[in-house]
Amino acid sequence: MSEEGASTRERLLRAALVTFSERGYGGATTRIIAERAGANQGLVTHYFGGKEKLWKSAVTLAFADLDQTMASATEALTPLDPPTQIRLLARMFVLHSSRHPELHRLVVHESMERTERMRWLVEEQMKPRLEPVQLLLGDDFPDRSWVGLLMMFIGAASHVFATATLVEDLGGGKPTDPVQAAAYADDVVRLFLGEPGTPLTLPRGSMGMAD
């Protein structure tokens, strides 16, 4: 692929990620995506084979962006003790969500009904990334109630940024502002994992979790 072709494909992919996150699969069209990317609509078929494959490529890109953020953070945190690592990784996830709210929006759109796309999202993208969490929490939550705990954390970490316009209109400031996002990330980590320098604490008693 030529350099120009690779650039056009990347623009289409990034435009698709934003458009699908804003409009959902049904509301997004290849015409809108191509216009946003400044490309010919026919290039969607040329590079991706159609709308569904473009959607899968956009979702894969969103998760790859997250993987890159977390992998870089994990490498840098290796010398630290495990509780500190976990707190800082959780904080990094919140900050990533502030910069990339598209992933949370995409997941919310697709979770509204059980479609083949949602099944693909769960099996190909989400479950493989949850395996480390299961290994970490499985003994403490043998009934898999850790899934509910994890969804609570992801919601707290991501939803305020996915609905940033609403938050602003309600007078909650600008969540995506780096300073505000950093303060919010600290709040989320304290809420779910306790104060820095103390033993890790996990919330219990909700969504079927044992007291």
198 pLDDT above the threshold of 80: no
Q: Is the dihedral of CA 173, 150, 122, 115 positive or negative?
A: negative
Q: What is the pLDDT, as a whole number, of residue 211?
A: 42
Average pLDDT over residues 99-110: 95
User: Average pLDDT for residues 76-89, to the nearest whole number?
Assistant: 85
pLDDT grade, residue 203 (50/70/90)? low
| Cα dihedral sign, 151-149-163-63 | negative
**Domain boundary assignment for the chain:** 80-193
* Greatest CA separation for the chain: 59
- pLDDT confidence bin for 188, thresholds 50/70/90: very high
Give 79 or 8, the one with higher predicted confidence.
8
- pTM for the whole thing? 0.86
Q: Between the CA of residue 34 and those of 40, 60, 109, what are the distances in Å?
A: 6, 19, 21
What is the arithmetic mean of pLDDT over 135-162?
80
Query: 137-155 b/e with 16+ CB inside 10 Å = b?
Result: beeebeeebbbebeebbbe
CB–CB of 189/90 below 8 Å? Answer: yes
Contact assessment for residue 16 and residue 106, using Cβ atoms and an 8 Å cutoff = no
Q: Which residue has the tokens 């946003």?
A: 36
Distance, in Å, from the CA atom of 33 to the CA atom of 19, rounded to the nearest integer, reads 6
The mean pLDDT of the chain is 88
| Alpha carbons 60 and 45: distance in angstroms, whole number | 18
Q: For residue 154, give the H/E element and its range.
A: helix 146-162
pLDDT band at 206 (very low <50, low <70, confident <90, very high): very low
